[in-house]
């Protein structure tokens, strides 16, 4: 029994060391990007088509419209298209009264991907920008996107997301999770090791999308972002960039109930097994194994459980100070982080289970997988 305990703790220590070194390398890659903002005298001359699929977003649309009207971009170069994904509230009426172009998603019960496809086919510009209806934007968001596009000619641009509210425990949990996810997204793209994206802040060439759209994964309701960026990454000589300064960062609403939160994460987990990156899969597998060992340590013996828990606290504190030092996370103290990261271990197992065994779920009054 003592030998088994020694092996058990040894494996946990090795995983912890790997995790810290991997996290450190990801942070270093993320912070290595020194992309400069546009000069003050920059005059945009790139046409942009901004598409916004929505379903039952009546509550969020007024704030979105207000943010759209504050965008600092030439009106003659900006096309805004809303695509209604069969809403059952009064959101469609609100968009009609706002004066923006409104389309109806062609395929019933197919979700965001079908709505997005409908919008892209209707656009007139080569540069397509996608966002969600619960977001707000910096006034110079499109100006900076245009500058990077004109200067670097990327096929795909992934932008950063932050949350509007970070007051409750659930909101803080989402903030920590999102901050680390954004760091991993940027690190993967910058290093060209793996590719992630968030559909609320991404841009790409219409011609590239039309080249690969027929081969995109359609078996999952989620994944309009991850499947798209990976398909583009597989094209010869593709160029993908990540934009993470405040000017490229848009804000979105956090989930305010545990029920809605777990529904959302079940949806996200359903696309996790579709990753073709061995580097990302191995990192995620080690995180799952670490969480499993922490949860099962008590079944080994009390001494092992105490030691593993102490090691977990030490590792988590090192993570926290690393993420804090490089400003990956802000506005959170050590004790709050330790509490959140403990519950995060259960969350990792929840996501792993639903990634391996995807189930149907209800999302915006629609049963889907």
The mean of the pLDDT values for the chain is 88
pLDDT for residue 113 is more than 90? no
Roughly what angle, to the nearest 10 degrees, separates helices 334-356 and 302-325? Answer: 110
pLDDT at 203: 97
Query: Which pLDDT belongs to residue 369?
Result: 56
Which CA distances in Å does 138 have to 50, 99, 162, 175, 346?
Answer: 15, 22, 12, 19, 35
H/E stretch holding 242: strand 240-243
Residue pair 195/227 in contact by the 8 Å Cβ criterion:
no
More confident: 259 or 125: 125
Joined together, the tokens standing for residue 284 give 């995620």
Neighbouring CB atoms inside 10 A of 71's CB total 18
In sequence order, which ranges of 123-252 are alpha helices (DSSP H)?
141-152, 169-191, 206-212, 226-233
Rounded CA separation 293/297 (Å) = 6
CA distance linking residue 233 with residue 158, whole number of Å: 12
> With the CA atoms of 312, 315, 317 and 322 taken in that order, what torsion angle do they form, in degrees rounded to the nearest 10?
-150
**304 with 297: CB under 8 angstroms?**
yes
Percent of the chain, pLDDT > 70?
93
Token pair 């915006």: residue = 364
Place 180 in a pLDDT band, splitting at 50, 70 and 90.
confident
Percent of the chain topping pLDDT 90: 53
d(CA 43, CA 104): 34
Instruction: Of 48-52, 158-162, 256-260, give the range with the top mean pLDDT.
Output: 48-52
Residue 312, number of CB atoms within 10 A of its CB:
21
Q: Please check the confidence at residue 172 and state whether its pLDDT lies above 60.
A: yes
100 vs 278, residue with greater confidence: 100
Q: What is the CA radius of gyration of the chain?
A: 22
Residue 273: the pLDDT is 66
> Token pair 């970070």 is at which residue?
166
Return d(Cα 23, Cα 8) in angstroms, integer: 23
The two three-digit tokens of residue 259, written as one number: 């029920």
pLDDT of residue 259: 87
Give the HSE-up count for residue 69: Cα atoms under 13 Å, Cβ half-sphere: 9
| pLDDT for position 133 | 95
Q: CB neighbours of 88 closer than 8 A, spacing ≥ 6?
A: 56, 365
Instruction: Pick the range with the lowest mean pLDDT from 88-92, 185-189, 276-280.
Output: 276-280
Model-level pTM? Answer: 0.90
Q: Is residue 103 helix, strand or coil?
A: strand
C-alpha to C-alpha distances, 51 to 111, 112, 152, 250, 264, nearest whole angstrom: 15, 11, 22, 15, 22
Q: Dihedral through CA 265, CA 274, CA 294, CA 175, nearest 10?
A: -40
Of the pLDDT bands very low, low, confident and very high (cuts 50, 70, 90), residue 148 is: very high
Mean pLDDT of 119-144: 96
Which range is least confidently modeled, 206-210, 271-275, 309-313? 271-275
Q: Which of 138, 368, 92 is nearest to 247 (CA)?
A: 138
Contact 152, 239 (CB under 8 A): yes
Concatenated DSSP letters for 306-340?
HHHHHHHHHHHHHHHHHHHHTTSS-S--HHHHHHH
Sign (positive/negative) of CA torsion 88, 93, 98, 100? positive
Structure tokens at 215: 């081969």
Q: Would you state the pLDDT for residue 121?
A: 94
Q: With respect to CATH, is domain 34-274 assigned 3.40.50.1980? A: no
How far is C-alpha 152 from the chain's CA centre? 23
Instruction: Write out the DSSP string of 22-51.
Output: HHHHHHHHHHT--PPPPPTT------EEEE
Mean pLDDT of 116-140: 95
Q: Within the chain, which residue ranges are assigned CATH 3.90.550.10?
A: 34-274
What are the pLDDT digits (tens) for 218-251?
555 556 788 899 999 999 999 999 998 888 999 9
Q: Could you tell me the pLDDT band of residue 61, with boundaries at 50, 70 and 90?
A: very high
The Cα–Cα gap between 281 and 296 comes to 22
């Amino acid at each position: 029994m003592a030998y088994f305990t020694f092996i058990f703790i040894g494996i946990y220590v090795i995983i912890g060391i790997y995790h810290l070194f991997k996290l450190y390398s990801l942070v270093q890659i993320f912070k290595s990007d020194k992309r400069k903002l546009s000069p003050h005298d920059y005059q945009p001359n790139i046409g942009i088509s901004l598409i916004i699929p929505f379903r039952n977003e009546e509550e969020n649309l007024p704030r979105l419209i207000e943010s759209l009207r504050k965008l600092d971009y030439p009106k003659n170069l900006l096309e805004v298209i809303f695509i209604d994904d069969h809403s059952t509230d009064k959101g469609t009426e609100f968009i009609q009264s706002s004066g923006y172009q409104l389309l109806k998603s062609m395929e019933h019960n197919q979700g965001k991907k079908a709505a997005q496809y409908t919008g892209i086919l209707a656009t007139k510009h080569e540069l397509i920008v996608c966002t969600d209806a619960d977001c707000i934007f910096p006034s110079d968001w499109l100006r900076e996107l245009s500058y990077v596009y004109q200067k670097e000619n990327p096929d795909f641009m992934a932008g950063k997301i932050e949350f509007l509210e970070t007051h409750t425990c659930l909101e803080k949990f989402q903030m920590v999770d999102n901050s680390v996810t954004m760091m991993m997204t940027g690190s993967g793209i910058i290093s060209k090791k793996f590719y992630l994206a968030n559909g609320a802040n991404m841009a790409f060439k219409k011609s590239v999308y039309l080249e690969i759209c027929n081969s995109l994964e359609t078996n999952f309701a989620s994944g309009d972002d991850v499947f798209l960026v990976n398909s583009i990454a597989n094209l010869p000589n593709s160029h993908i960039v990540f934009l993470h300064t405040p000017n490229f960062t848009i804000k979105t609403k956090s989930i305010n109930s545990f029920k809605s939160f777990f529904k959302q994460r079940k949806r996200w987990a359903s696309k996790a097994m579709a990753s073709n990156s061995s580097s990302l899969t191995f990192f995620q597998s080690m995180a799952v194994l670490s969480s499993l060992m922490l949860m099962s340590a008590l079944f080994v013996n009390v001494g092992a459980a105490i030691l593993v828990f102490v090691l977990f606290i030490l590792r988590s504190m090192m993570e926290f100070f690393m993420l804090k030092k490089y400003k990956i996370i802000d506005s959170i103290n050590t004790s709050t982080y330790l509490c959140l990261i403990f519950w995060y271990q259960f969350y990792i197992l929840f996501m792993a289970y639903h990634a391996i065994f995807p189930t149907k779920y209800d999302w915006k009054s629609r049963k889907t997988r």
